[in-house]
């Protein structure tokens, strides 16, 4: 197991160090129990909010993948629930690995006790490792990238990544933000992983509203999760940004296909 070096860990606040160490310990010591936790509690929570509204496309594209695969899911980012929904689909309708990691921005989830509690309860610190935006703390992100790659070197791992890097707040669900090179670096350094582009549409950030829609108006407010054909970059000579752009292009293509199908 790799750990952050002294300068990386010291760049964090006391609360952030505690949050990282707690999350790291849970991911090392309690990962298997939390897989079952996600399969029960989180499965039920998401089912209650979307089960009657969910439409999944493209499962044939990933039917050959199995619990021993190394998977990098690349999805557009519009709500806080994007990867929770994707995880629900993965648990319910695919053979993808259940050992999951979702790198997440540190704000709230690693510098606020309530955020840490939510991260713990909502997935057993699956939202890990943290990514920092503060310039003084960005050296820790070097470790976070190394940790993601380390995990992908092992069989039976699913990592969720948002190529846009942050949540898109544009009201147009078919719009996208500029792509960050981070996912390209991960792919380039972990060529054994298969990258699955995913386009998600139909959710908001308010869980109670989602539950209301699921109960009273499921056909009026559908949720779509569209899986594309896995991408392989094992022999690619592209740089990180070019790879990231290609991944995002696959997501955009899925969005166009979906838009055309519902018009």
Burial (Cβ within 10 Å: 0-12, 13-18, ≥19) of residue 245 = middle
Predicted TM-score (pTM) above 0.85 = yes
At 225, list the tokens.
């999760």
The two tokens of residue 127 are 């939202």
Band the pLDDT of 122: cuts 50, 70, 90: confident
pLDDT score for 167? 92
Query: Does 226 reside within a domain?
Result: yes
- pLDDT beyond 80 at 235: no
Please say whether the beta carbons of 123 and 36 come within 8 A.
no
In a domain, 159, yes or no: yes
Is residue 124 within 8 Å of 33, Cβ to Cβ?
yes
Whether 63 is covered by a domain: the verdict is yes
The reply to whether 44 falls in a domain is yes
171 falls within a domain:
yes
Give the model's pLDDT for residue 234.
Answer: 79
Burial 188-225 (b: 16+ CB within 10 A, else e): bebeebbbbbbbbbbbeeebeebeebbeeeeeebebbb
Q: Is 1 among the domain residues?
A: no
Structural domain count, the chain: 1
pLDDT for residue 24 is more than 90: yes
Does residue 68 belong to any structural domain of this protein?
Answer: yes
Is 231 among the domain residues?
yes
End-to-end CA distance of the chain: 49
pLDDT digits (tens, 9 = 90+) for 126-164: 999 999 989 889 999 999 999 999 999 999 999 999 999
pLDDT in tens, 198-210: 999 999 989 999 9
**148, HSE (Cβ side, Cα atoms, 13 Å):** 33
For the CA atoms of the chain, what is the radius of gyration?
Answer: 18
Residue 226 pairs with which residues in a beta bridge?
57, 199
- For 239, the 3-state DSSP assignment is coil
pLDDT in tens, 33-47: 999 998 888 889 889
Give backbone dihedrals phi and psi of 103, rounded to 5 degrees, phi first.
Answer: -55, 135
Q: Would you call 151 helix, strand, or coil by DSSP?
A: helix
Q: What is the DSSP string of 80-142?
A: TTHHHHHHHHHHHH----S-EE--EESTTTTTSHHHHHHHHHTTSS-S-SEE--SGGGTHHHH
Q: Which domain holds residue 65?
A: 6-262
Q: Is 82 left (phi over 0), alpha (psi -120 to 50) or beta?
A: alpha
The CATH number for 55's domain is 3.40.1130
Of the pLDDT bands very low, low, confident and very high (cuts 50, 70, 90), residue 237 is: confident
**Rounded Cα gap, residues 160 and 47, in angstroms:** 20
């Amino acid at each position: 197991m790799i750990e952050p070096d002294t300068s990386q860990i010291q760049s964090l606040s006391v609360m952030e160090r505690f949050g990282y160490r707690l999350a790291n310990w849970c991911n090392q010591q309690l990962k298997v129990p939390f897989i079952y936790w996600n399969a029960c509690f989180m499965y039920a929570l998401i089912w209650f909010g979307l089960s009657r509204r969910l439409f999944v496309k493209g499962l044939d594209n990933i039917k050959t993948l199995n619990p021993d695969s190394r998977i990098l899911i690349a999805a557009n980012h519009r709500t806080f629930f994007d990867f929770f929904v994707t995880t629900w689909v993965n648990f319910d309708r695919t053979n993808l690995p259940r050992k999951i990691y979702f790198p997440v921005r540190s704000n709230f989830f690693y510098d606020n006790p309530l955020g840490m509690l939510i991260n713990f309860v909502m997935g057993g610190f699956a939202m890990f490792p943290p990514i920092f935006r503060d310039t003084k703390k960005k050296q820790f992100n070097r470790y976070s990238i190394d940790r993601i790659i380390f995990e992908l070197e092992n069989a039976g791992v699913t990592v969720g990544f948002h190529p846009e890097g942050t949540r898109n707040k544009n009201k147009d669900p078919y719009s996208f933000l500029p792509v960050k090179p981070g996912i390209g670096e991960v792919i380039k350094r972990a060529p054994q992983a298969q990258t699955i582009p995913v386009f998600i549409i139909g959710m908001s950030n308010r869980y109670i509203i989602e539950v209301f829609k699921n109960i009273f108006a499921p056909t009026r407010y559908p949720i779509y999760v569209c899986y594309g054909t896995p991408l392989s970059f094992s022999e690619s000579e592209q740089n990180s940004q070019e790879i990231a752009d290609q991944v995002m292009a696959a997501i955009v293509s899925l969005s166009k296909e979906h838009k055309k199908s519902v018009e």
